[in-house]
């Protein structure tokens, strides 16, 4: 089971005072406590169930009739649920305080046990993929309940050309806890432990608190934060380079053995998206850099009275009105009202998150940075993590993560194996929820300055989500290609980073010494290679969807809920067809990018 990735913006950290009563997770819906009898019983059940499953089905899949195959799939699904529940509990506790050695030991031990218990299950996908197409088609035709799982089978069988022998697959499964997983933990624990001496601050700050200063209204504070980040990253740059070198090399070895045609191919397979669709997205965004980020940042420089921008100005707030702290109650009402205005059902699904301990919002020592929504398993409910600091941007983050939560609740009806949504579609409800909230705030804007601030904030978020993530994707492509040729020095990686930053941000920026190391703190590169394009995919898809909604597409709300309820049971072509959209059409991406360009047009038109 995969633990979640944080949202890719500066969702910051410092102190949780002054925002009202911030909610904390109640993880008892998963298990009462780490030492509870329920947790121990499920762990014992999992060990027995995995061994029994292997004894019942290993080497026998080809001889099963449709009813027996359905029983096999249902047994596998139940194992998936229990393993996911155990790992979710351990993972969420760990994210609440990554510096707690007891929690770190607990998650490591749980992961070790689950890996050991589930190693006998490796045969299942391998044996299933050896079934002849005609035999599988006959089984599916004979049993409607089994036919429900065809999307799962299709995704499994997409790996047929890339699977190894049973023995090698079991070895890789066993070895994973001391491979990528171990390097991931080293990265997480190192990042959580970094402290930054920021000039002007009384105490050293952690990573999130320091990143938060990059959005401070005072330019000197932003510069001090940027320089403190650069100083600390440089001190640890050899470690971060070693993490990236090792993970990229491990991936190259696995990809070579699996005969993957490119480093990105495995991600495309898991996302159930064609490489040419991703390439069309990437090319459309890169071609749009001049009319999006380049143009916007030149405009921002003008607003700030500067001829040149420094990297610490990229996320600077506009000085059009005094910074405002948004209390938690106001943030809650804003998001729920926006959801309810679109569809009352959406607000009703979202309410339990606030009322039942499904959100952890406060900033606490050792807590994981950023924000995420984790679906846990289809028989429980999702949990949302924030680092809430009362900024207007934090309200958007709440709307975003709550959208994930609503999506995960709706998709859970598909069951464990069918509820999981590919990354490319997983951002749909989150970005749509964010857009609903933004539009509501924009409609309520009382002054030109307020409207301008909201528009500029939205453009910056969209640039962070689209332009910045595609630049990240290009950086990863370059990194993995270069690592295939040999070991990379920190300077090598720094140069790759700067090549994409200059291209994506435009010619109005100057880059301070030390900015070349800022690749080091991006967790996506470590945890999930090539994950990042999913954000751009989701933003472009939602912009096209929202345009259809704004144009009054008949029964849009009903179609939208059906799309979310589908989870991972349908391909993106099938999901988008009711809206008259097709992501494989290169022109599709221009629609979404045009929305961003339109917001910049409006900002330019506001100039006196």
Quick: pLDDT tens for 232-291. Answer: 999 999 999 999 999 999 999 999 999 999 999 999 988 888 999 999 999 999 999 999
| Range of weakest confidence among 99-103, 163-167, 565-569 | 163-167
Evaluate whether 81 touches 378 at the Cβ level (below 8 Å): yes
User: Using CA atoms, how far apart are residues 36 and 22, in angstroms rounded to an integer?
Assistant: 27
Give domain 27-176's CATH number out of 3.40.30.10, 1.20.140.70, 1.10.287.80, 1.20.140.10. Answer: 1.20.140.70
Q: Which residue reads 């807590």 in tokens? A: 367
> Would you give the DSSP letter of residue 240?
H
Q: What is the mean pLDDT of residues 571-582?
A: 91
pTM for the whole thing? 0.81
Residues with Cβ within 8 Å of residue 601, at least 6 apart in sequence? none
CATH topology of domain 328-446: Collagenase (Catalytic Domain) (3.40.390)
Q: Taking the C-alpha atoms of 158, 161, 166 and 169 in order, what is their torsion angle to the nearest 10 degrees?
A: -70
User: Using CA atoms, how far apart are residues 186 and 243, in angstroms rounded to an integer?
Assistant: 8
Phi, psi of 62 (to 5 degrees): -65, -20
Task: List, for residues 513-524, the tens digit of each pLDDT value.
Answer: 999 999 999 999
CA angle 247, 90, 47 (to 5 degrees): 90
pLDDT at 429: 93
> Would you give the DSSP letter of residue 316?
P
Sequence spans of domains, the chain: 27-176, 181-320+462-527, 328-446
User: Using CA atoms, how far apart are residues 206 and 192, in angstroms rounded to an integer?
Assistant: 7
Residues with Cβ within 8 Å of residue 218, at least 6 apart in sequence? none
Q: What is the mean pLDDT of residues 36-50?
A: 98
Q: Cα separations (Å) of 548 from 252, 373, 545, 558?
A: 41, 26, 5, 13
Count of Cβ atoms closer than 10 Å to residue 555 Cβ: 9
pLDDT at 479: 97
pLDDT at 404: 95
User: Using CA atoms, how far apart are residues 599 and 396, in angstroms rounded to an integer?
Assistant: 17
């Amino acid at each position: 089971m995969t633990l979640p990735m944080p949202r890719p913006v500066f969702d910051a950290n410092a102190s949780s005072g002054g925002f009202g009563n911030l909610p904390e997770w109640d993880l008892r819906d998963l298990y009462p406590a780490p030492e509870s009898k329920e947790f121990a019983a499920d762990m014992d059940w999992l060990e027995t169930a995995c061994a029994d499953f292997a004894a019942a089905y290993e080497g026998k899949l080809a001889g099963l009739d449709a009813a027996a195959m359905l029983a096999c799939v249902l047994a596998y699904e139940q194992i998936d649920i229990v393993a996911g529940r155990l790992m979710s509990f351990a993972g969420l506790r760990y994210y609440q305080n990554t510096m707690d050695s007891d929690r770190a030991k607990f998650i490591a031990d749980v992961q070790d046990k689950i890996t050991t218990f589930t190693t006998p299950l490796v045969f299942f996908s391998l044996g299933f993929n050896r079934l002849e197409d005609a035999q599988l088609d006959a089984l599916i035709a004979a049993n409607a309940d089994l036919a429900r799982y065809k999307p799962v089978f299709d995704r499994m069988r997409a790996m047929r050309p890339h699977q190894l022998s049973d023995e090698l697959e079991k070895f890789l499964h066993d070895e994973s806890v001391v491979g990528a997983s171990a390097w991931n933990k080293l990265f997480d624990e190192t990042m959580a432990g970094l402290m930054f001496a920021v000039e002007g601050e009384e105490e050293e700050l952690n990573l999130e608190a320091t990143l938060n200063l990059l959005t401070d209204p005072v330019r000197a504070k932003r510069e001090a934060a940027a320089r403190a980040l650069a100083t600390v990253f440089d001190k640890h740059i050899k470690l971060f380079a070693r993490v990236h070198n090792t993970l990229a090399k491990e991936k190259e070895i696995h990809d070579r053995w699996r005969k993957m045609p490119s480093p990105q191919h495995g991600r495309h397979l898991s996302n159930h998206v064609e490489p040419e669709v991703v390439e069309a997205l990437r090319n459309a965004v890169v071609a749009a850099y001049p009319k999006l980020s380049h143009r916007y940042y030149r405009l921002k420089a003008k607003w700030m009275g500067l001829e040149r921008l420094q990297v610490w100005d990229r996320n600077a707030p506009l000085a059009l009105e005094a910074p405002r702290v948004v209390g938690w109650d106001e943030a809650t009402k804003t998001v729920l009202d926006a959801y309810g205005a679109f569809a009352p059902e959406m607000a009703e699904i979202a309410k339990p998150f606030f009322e039942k301990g499904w959100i952890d919002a406060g900033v606490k020592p050792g807590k994981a940075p950023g924000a995420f929504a984790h679906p846990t398993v289809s028989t429980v409910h999702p949990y949302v993590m924030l680092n809430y600091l009362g900024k207007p941007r934090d309200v958007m983050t709440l709307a975003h993560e709550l959208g994930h939560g609503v999506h995960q609740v709706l998709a859970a009806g598909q069951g464990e194996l069918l509820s999981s949504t590919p990354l490319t579609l997983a951002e749909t409800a989150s970005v749509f929820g964010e857009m609903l909230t933004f539009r509501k705030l924009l409609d309520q804007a009382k002054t030109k300055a307020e409207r301008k601030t909201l528009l500029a904030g939205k453009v910056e978020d969209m640039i962070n989500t689209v332009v910045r993530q595609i630049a990240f994707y290009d950086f990863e492509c370059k990194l993995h290609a270069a690592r295939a040729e040999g070991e990379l020095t920190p300077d090598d990686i720094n140069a790759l980073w700067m090549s994409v930053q200059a291209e994506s941000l435009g010619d109005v920026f100057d880059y301070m010494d030390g900015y070349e190391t800022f690749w080091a703190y991006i967790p996506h590169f470590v945890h999930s290679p090539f994950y990042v394009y999913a954000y751009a995919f989701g933003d472009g898809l939602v912009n096209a969807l929202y345009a259809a909604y704004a144009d009054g597409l008949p029964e849009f709300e009903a179609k939208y809920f059906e799309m979310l309820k589908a989870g991972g049971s349908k391909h993106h072509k099938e999901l988008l067809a009711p809206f008259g959209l097709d992501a494989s059409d290169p022109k599709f991406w221009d629609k979404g990018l045009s929305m961003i360009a339109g917001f910049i047009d409006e900002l330019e038109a506001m100039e006196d």
